[in-house]
Amino acid sequence: MALAACSREYPQSALHPTADFGDQIDVLFRTIFWWAVGVFVIVEAALLFVLFRYRDRPGAADPKRVHGHTLLEVAWTLAPAVVLVFIAVPTIRTIFRTEAAPPADALTVEVIGHQWWWEFRYPDLGLVTANEMHVPQGRAVVLSMTSEDVIHSFWAPKLGGKRDVLPGRTTRIVFTPDSIGEVYGQCAEFCGESHANMRFRVMVDAPEVFALWADRQLQPAVPVDSLDEPLRQGAQVYLTKGCLACHAITGVSAGVLGPNLTHVGSRTTIASGILPNTPEGLTRWLRNPVGEKPGSLMPQIPLTDDEMALLVAYLQSLN
Ligand code: HEC
Ligand SMILES: [Cu+2]
């Protein structure tokens, strides 16, 4: 166990926060940890002292017994209560700080939990994406979270505490990411068969990189008729095999049941982080969604190898 703690791979460790929310929880945790170490040392020292000082020696008389000692009883009732006060005050202060109103220039992202993927909407920018949320470094972000179906929970440990994502109610997380990079997260409330496969990533970009990303995401897809072969044929497969009933591609289809695919090619993973967004990953997913992700609401649609190759190339071109 001690060696496991030395591992360098800790993509979901709350001990390496990269946002102010995470920092506050980390400070609280470390403060309480060191107080606990202090209590431990005092208690163990007292125990060892008593063990040695009053241990049985040959010929020694029995030690004096203590019964109904009011002062002692009050003392050992009060001491833990005082310890709890020391834990409660900074804890409650942290709760209030992390629930504070967001600054006026914060970026709002609507988080919608689905069985078993995440939808991210940016109402101020008018863009929609799935499973990979981009945010700019150094700017406050407000997650305004709700669920389409059952209770989920949003948890990106490096950014901050987890919060439930409930149908019919909006919960909020406010954080300001401080370092550029990918942060891993996942659903943290059991929500059905593929709960463990309900992952997400938060990509913290430099502000100018974020602006480029947002611009790109706002571009509509190339109209099917303007596409070159063989992409046009790939789009035809998309349009004729029922994909359009559940997926949106701006200017091509407007389904709402599944993730928006307008820029699916710009994501690094698909199906909420369980497969890489490569031709192989896409093919595996389209061949057998429920096999890759038990319970997935995306049905298996029979495609020939040719149709599959055309469709995958089309999806990859949507970046
Ligand atoms: C009945 C609705 C439905 C149909 C029809 C459907 N899908 Fe899906 N699709 C979904 C749902 C729901 C998901 C999310 C699955 C998950 O991650 O659990 C999904 C996920 C995906 C993803 C992964 C997107 C991402 O960013 O994670 C791709 C790609 C995809 N579908 C492509 C297609 C294609 C191509 C077709 C047609 C051959 C198709 N889908 C047909 C509902 C559907
Ligand atoms: Cu969930």
- Do 166 and 147 touch, CB atoms closer than 8 A? yes
How many beta carbons lie within 10 A of that of residue 150, not counting itself? Answer: 16
pTM of the model: 0.89
Q: Percent of the chain scored above 70 by pLDDT?
A: 100
Q: Which atom of ligand 1 is nearest to the CA of 293?
A: 18
**Is the peptide bond between 116 and the residue preceding it cis, with omega within 30 degrees of 0?**
yes
Q: pLDDT tens digits, residue range 71-110?
A: 999 998 999 999 999 999 999 999 999 988 999 999 999 9
User: Which ligand has the nearest atom to the CA of 311?
Assistant: 1
Q: What residues have their beta carbon closer than 5 A to ion ligand 2? A: 152, 187, 191, 198
Give the Å distance between the CA of 131 and the centre of ligand 1: 13
pLDDT at 9 over 80: no
Q: Is the peptide bond before 230 cis (omega within 30 degrees of 0)?
A: yes
The CATH homologous superfamily of the domain defined by 224-317: Cupredoxins -  blue copper proteins (2.60.40.420)
Binned at pLDDT 50, 70 and 90, residue 225 comes out as confident
The preferred substitution site among 264, 298, 303 for testing ligand 1, maximizing ligand atoms within 8 Å of CB, is 298
Whole-Å CA distances, 249 to 25, 142, 215, 225, 263: 40, 26, 16, 14, 8
- Exposure string (b/e) for 178-188, b if CB count within 10 Å is 16 or more? eebeebbbbbb
116, 274 contact by CB (below 8 A): no
Please report the pLDDT score of residue 56 as a whole number: 85
CA of 36 to the centre of ligand 2 (A): 34
Average pLDDT, the chain: 93
Ligand nearest to the CA of 270: 1
The predicted pLDDT at position 8 comes to 72
CA of 286 to the centre of ligand 1 (A): 8
Task: Kindly tell me the sign of the dihedral angle through the C-alpha atoms of 171, 174, 180, 184.
Answer: negative
215 has a pLDDT exceeding 80: yes
Tell how far the Cα of 82 is from the centroid of ligand 1, in angstroms. 55
Amino acid 316: pLDDT:
94
pLDDT computed for residue 237 by the predictor: 94
Cα–Cα distance for residue pair 269/292, rounded to 1 Å: 13
Of the candidate CATH numbers 2.140.10.10, 2.60.40.420, 3.60.15.10, 3.50.50.60, the domain formed by 107-218 belongs to: 2.60.40.420
Tell me which residues have their CB closer than 6 angstroms to ligand 1: 116-117, 130-131, 238, 241-243, 245-247, 257-259, 261, 264, 267, 270-272, 286, 293, 296-299, 301, 311, 315
Residue 7 has pLDDT above 80, yes or no: no
Choose one of 129, 195, 247, 263 to mutate for the ligand 1 pocket test, by most ligand atoms within 8 angstroms of C-beta: 247
pLDDT category at 224 given cuts 50, 70, 90 is confident
Element (H or E) spanning 183, and its range? strand 181-187
Ligand nearest to the CA of 117: 1
The CA distance from 29 to 60, in Å, is: 47
With cut-offs at 50, 70 and 90, classify the pLDDT of residue 112. very high
The bridge status of strand 132-136 relative to strand 199-205 is parallel
For residues 26-51, give the mean pLDDT. 94
Q: Whose CA is nearest to atom 37 of ligand 1?
A: 243
Mutate to test the pocket of ligand 1, among 129, 132, 246, 307 (most ligand atoms within 8 A of CB): 246
In 205-248, alpha helices (H):
207-218, 231-240
Q: Which residues of the chain does CATH 2.60.40.420 include?
A: 107-218, 224-317
